[in-house]
């Protein structure tokens, strides 16, 4: 799993500090996708310039990691409580690790405010090879 917080913060800052229409190269950069994919989505969906609504149309149809994560979050937009299965699906985390975190917290579901508690209880192995974390 990639560290998604900086990517989400980057998207948030991009939308708050730039005015539409957005530059397609900058959109590709902030969404972590090839420029050609942005242009292809724009062509397919008849987007002449990228407005705020069109930005999210691009997110909905992009294959980038962060866009796929956002798409999975939207799938559960009406959910009030997150189960281990839902969090494992959204964030592509091993279900057994997520379930172990829920067990540690003695919970079967959590609110959106408690998701970070779950993440803080998911343990991963870190390997250092030639002074690089892997």
Each residue's pLDDT, cut to its tens digit, for the chain (134 residues) gives: 457 788 999 999 999 999 999 999 999 999 999 999 999 999 999 999 999 999 999 999 999 999 999 999 999 989 999 999 999 999 888 999 999 999 999 999 999 899 999 999 988 766 667 666 55
In whole angstroms, give the CA distance from residue 99 to residue 103.
6
> Which residues, listed in sequence order, are joined to residue 133 by a DSSP beta bridge?
128
pTM of structure: 0.76
Closest by CA to 2, choosing from 89, 93, 73, 84, is 93
User: What number of helices (H) and strands (E) belong to the chain?
Assistant: 8, 2
Q: Which residues contact 98 (CB under 8 A, 6 or more apart)?
A: 84, 87, 88, 118, 122
Q: What does DSSP say about strands 128-129 and 132-133: parallel, antiparallel, or unpaired?
A: antiparallel
């Amino acid at each position: 799993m990639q560290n998604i917080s900086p990517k989400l913060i980057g998207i948030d800052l991009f939308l708050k500090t730039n005015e539409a229409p957005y530059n397609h190269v900058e959109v590709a950069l902030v969404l972590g996708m090839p420029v050609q994919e942005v242009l292809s989505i724009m062509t397919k969906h008849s987007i002449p310039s990228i407005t705020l609504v069109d930005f999210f149309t691009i997110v909905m149809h992009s294959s980038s990691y962060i866009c796929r994560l956002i798409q999975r979050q939207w799938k559960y937009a009406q959910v009030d409580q997150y189960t281990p299965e839902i969090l494992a699906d959204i964030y592509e985390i091993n279900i057994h690790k997520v379930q172990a975190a829920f067990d540690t917290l003695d919970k079967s579901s959590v609110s959106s405010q408690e998701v970070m508690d779950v993440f803080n209880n998911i343990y991963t192995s870190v390997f250092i090879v030639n002074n690089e974390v892997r």
